[in-house]
Amino acid sequence: MNATQILFWFLSGLTLFSAIMVVISKNPVHSVLWLIVTFFAISGHYILLNAQFIGIVNLIVYAGAIMVLFLFVIMLMNLNAHSEPQKHKWLKLAGILAGGCLMLVLVAALKTADQNKMIAQTQEGNIGLIENLGKALFTEYVVPFEISSVLFLSAMVGAVVIGKKGD
């Protein structure tokens, strides 16, 4: 095993472990903190794929901004293990079933896909570097890029409208 492989297995283990901890933590604040660890591990994967720009943007946007807002809301609502509503037994069972079905579909879909014959190119691919990504976004994919920015704008306007309603 070389260094890249060791890193890959370490990061994969960390991602899965912290993702599971997000779900099974009793305390919502702990869940958010585990989710931040998950984002860090995923950014590590991006960097292994030589996509440094995507990796760091993932950290800045998700771990740095969105998760802070999450933490903000959860801290203000003062949720903790005692105030967590106990769900009905059947509801839990239904959740397990639905989740299992989703996993089955994903596994079945990926089993015969072409993707699993393609081995991830570590340290070789260069689409995640800022220059190549910018060129791809602003030439080939400029229409979807602009449309998604309009979507964000409308979401922002919507948030302002909802926030102004009280006045």
Amino acid identity for residue 120 in this structure? A
Nearest CB to another protein, comparing residues 72 and 98: 72
Q: Quick check: 52 and 128 in contact, CB under 8 A?
A: yes
Q: How far is the CB of 129 from another protein (least distance, A)?
A: 7
Q: What is the phi/psi pair of residue 114, to 5°? A: -70, -25
| 127 HSE (CA, 13 A, CB side) | 5
Q: How far is the CB of 29 from another protein (least distance, A)?
A: 7
Nearest CB to another protein, comparing residues 75 and 159: 75
Q: How far is the CB of 13 from another protein (least distance, A)?
A: 21
Amino acid identity for residue 130 in this structure? I
> Interface residues with another protein (CB under 8 A)?
29, 33, 36, 52-53, 56-57, 59-60, 63-65, 68-69, 71-72, 75-76, 129-130
